[in-house]
Structure 1
Amino acid sequence: MIGSAPAFWSRRTSLASLLLSPVGCIVGAITLRRMKGPSQIVPVPVLCIGNPTVGGAGKTPTALALLARLSRQGHAPFALLRGHGGSLPGPVRVVPDRHDAVAVGDEALLLAAAAPTIVSRDRPSGARLAVAEGASVILMDDGFQNPSLAKDVSVLVIDGAAGVGNGRVLPAGPLRAPLAPQLAAADAVLVVGDGAAGEAVAAQAARMGKAVLHGTVRPDPQVVAALRGRRVLAFAGIGRPDKLATTLRTADVEVAGLRAFPDHHAYVPDEIAALAAEAERIGAMLVTTSKDMARLRAPAFAAHRPAIIVLPIEMEIGPQATLDDLLALAFTRAARRSLQPA
């Protein structure tokens, strides 16, 4: 069970990274050229939550936090995403009682519980469906490097501890394209959690005149209170599975072990049965993420679901004034765009 990135992605002097750098230069050039491609426009603001690297940085909790904030401000936000891991090409509005992770992906199910959500591999088609369904603003989860839908504001999410790794482009490192051009195309960076690596990216963004936000992940206090004093066996198939163990340990929960799976891993019943048996053997409780539990909704997992505890998290983003300025900027830019001749 492997859920982590190559170790050399965090070491700039790695021989493997150096040997792969020429390939990374080609990949980066192709991505940057694609980012300059034509874009289609929709008549509502589009906010994009992306990241400059592959792997988990916290886009989904960021999207959930922004959807909630936009709703509190009186807007009608719709989430738009590709539906990674799902089979439906879309565009389709997600109905949690009818769709599962096999159809629309785990992230779509989480977002759909918070706001109307559209899954579409063709993002402009998905955006048009959102507008037709009543969206006053679209929050696009991922797609920063995809030019097909015009964005009014883009925020790049950075993991504070990991930053951008060794600063090289795939496959030599975790970057999807060279960092500086990506920062230039964004409006802000959001650093999630503490860490010098993330702060270095924030400092670079600030020097380029970009807004800088900071995010803090807060686990559900009631669940944490119930877990204290108990041993837990954590498992996760997310971009960075170690984040689950870190969150638990930071909350003073004893983690007997972590079983890491690849991002968006499609669990099979035998895997969950093996985890349950291991937890029973070591006298621990099984704990996982909301995203992982979204993939365990099928009847085949019904016997084991009651024994699995989900640790919900929330993202707190600040400074709030900077965040609200960014949200307002999206509406301002969309309004100006509507006044331009076709």
Structure 2
Amino acid sequence: MSRKRLQPPGYWFDGSRPPLPARLLAEAYAGAVASRRWLYDKGLLRRGGVDRPVIVVGNLIAGGSGKTPLVIALVERLRAAGRTPGVASRGYGRAQAEDALWVDAGTDPRRGGDEPVLIARRTGAKVRVDRDRLAAARALVAAGCDVVVCDDGLQHYRLRRDLEIEVIDGRRRYGNGLLLPAGPLREPAGRGGDCQFRVVNLGADEVGEAGFGEWSMRLRVDRAQPLQGGRPCPLRTFSGQRVHAVAGIGDPERFFATLREHGIAVVPHAFADHHRYVADDLRFGSDLPVLMTEKDAVKCLPFAGERHFSVPATAELPEAFWIALLDRLSHL
């Protein structure tokens, strides 16, 4: 299987001018996005809801921004507050995307999707994948959930929501600020102003702060978990060593940079987001340790060896964020 990574066009983030065809297509796309939003706002396309609060976590740019760690943290915090949260997801990249499915820790990621399986493994919450997120939300409520957390559903307007959380990549932000395909945006940047909460993912060791009206999120990355099982070890165990680093996420370089910040000499191996791994993908010709993200690890478990490790990322947000979110939730 090819290891070639599908890179976004350079002009999305490097400041260069997009080609004319991309700009023309972006104008057409902008019209389609605005028309669809207008049809929902006017009630010409029907929304549906459930009789429990719905929290949507999403982003505006194509590719990852740190939604999954936030969803995991959100589920854990809601449970600590006495709630019974469930997670609705499309399960991007599933082999049988048309089929609705309950996902648990043992679900094959090819059927359930890598991110839903990861969420189920980390939280133990009920997770439902369905192209129709409204149907997924209804299934979760019927199963006893009193809060629905919708993973990556900001543009899924058919599902009525009570709270929206936009997650912003603190390093890339909105790129050149243009819509697809001239830029990375799925909706205009102003759409973020409609969200009750805007969370900026500042990564693990990146310098920076959230702007006005934004909440900062840091990712704690401090341990490595053997894929074959056993106790985790501190990430500093690999300081001063060369390792193979594997990342099939929206921004692999962020993962590689995090490892380098811990003094690890990285041999990088970037794959396309949601890449379906096979054993040959992890054969690199040298017997170095292999560190990978958790999202990659759930797909590599069947052929993992003793030198394969996942590196969990735990979202940490200010206590004031959780107080504000739970307060809004209590008034719904």
TM-score normalized with structure 2 length: 0.87
**Which range is displaced more, 232-241 or 20-29?**
20-29
Deviation of the 1:90 alpha carbon: 4.0
With over 3 angstroms needed to count, the CA separation of the structure-2 counterparts of 1:2 and 1:158, relative to structure 1, is: same
**Aligned match of 1:95:** 104
Question: Quick one: distance in 2 between partners of 1:44 and 1:160?
Answer: 32
Task: Decide whether the 8 Å contact of 2:54 with 2:163 is kept in 1.
Answer: yes
Q: Report the aligned-residue RMSD.
A: 2.2
Distance across 1 between alignment mates of 2:131 and 2:207? 32
Instruction: Looking at secondary structure, tell me which structure has more helix per residue.
Output: 1
Aligned to 2:265: 254
Cα shift at 1:29 = 2.6
Find the counterpart in structure 2 of residue 40 from structure 1.
Answer: 48
Letter in 2 for 1:152: D
Q: How does 1:266-281 map to 2 (within 5 A)?
A: 266-273=276-283, 275=284, 277=285, 279-280=286-287
User: Contact 2:18–2:182 (CA<8 Å) still a contact in 1?
Assistant: no
What pairs with 1:1-342 in structure 2 (closer than 5 Å)? 1-16=4-19, 19-36=21-38, 37=40, 38-86=46-94, 87-97=96-106, 99-113=107-121, 114=123, 115-180=125-190, 182-193=191-202, 203=211, 206=212, 211-221=213-223, 222-255=233-266, 257-273=267-283, 275=284, 277=285, 279-280=286-287, 284-298=288-302, 301=303, 304-318=304-318, 320-333=319-332
1:185 CA displacement: 2.4
Question: What letter is aligned with 1:91?
Answer: A
Partner of 1:337: none
Could you say what secondary structure the match of 2:306 adopts? helix
Q: Distance in 2 between matches of 1:214 and 1:72?
A: 21
Shift of residue 327, structure 1, vs aligned partner: 3.4
8 Å CA contact 1:160–1:197 kept in 2: the answer is no
One-letter amino acid of the structure 1 residue matched with residue 307 of structure 2: A
Shift of 1:127: 0.5
1:176 aligns to what SS in structure 2? coil
**% of aligned pairs identical?**
32
Unaligned runs of 5+ residues in structure 1 are 334-342
Shift of 1:307: 2.2
Q: Is the partner of 2:300 in helix, strand or coil? A: coil
Structure 1 15/43 Cα, relative in aligned 2: closer, same or farther at 3 Å? closer
**Residues of 1 paired with 2:255 and 2:115: CA distance?**
16
The answer (yes or no) to whether the contact 2:202–2:216 under 8 Å persists in 1 is yes
Distance verdict in 2 for CA 1:25–1:88, change over 3 Å: closer
C-alpha contact (below 8 Å) 1:4/1:239 kept by paired residues: no
1:327 & 1:120 partners in 2: Cα distance? 27
User: What CA distance in whole angstroms lies between the structure 2 residues aligned with 1:4 and 1:189?
Assistant: 26
Whole-Å Cα distance in 2 between the matches of residues 327 and 47 of structure 1? 11
Q: Distance in 1 between matches of 2:112 and 2:168?
A: 25
Change over 3 Å in CA distance of 1:331–1:27 after alignment to 2:
farther
Q: Deviations over 1:266-299 (max 9, x none)?
A: 11222222x3x2x32xxx321111100111234x
Change in 2 beyond 3 A, CA 1:239/1:58: same
What is the TM-score normalised by the length of structure 1?
Answer: 0.85
Unaligned runs of at least 5 residues, structure 2: 41-45, 224-232
C-alpha distance in 1 between matches for 2:101 and 2:93: 15
CA distance in 2, matches of 1:9, 1:41: 35
| 8 Å contact from structure 2 (residues 120, 126) kept in 1 | yes
SS at match of 2:128: strand
- The offset of 1:15, in angstroms, is 4.2
Cα distance between partner residues in 2 of 1:196 and 1:270: 33
How big is the shift at 1:89?
3.2
**1:198 Cα deviation (Å)?**
8.6
| SS of match in other structure, 1:296 | helix
**Alignment length (residue pairs):** 310
**Does the CA contact (< 8 Å) of 1:4 and 1:260 recur in 2?**
no
Whether the 8 Å contact between 1:236 and 1:292 is mirrored in structure 2 is: yes
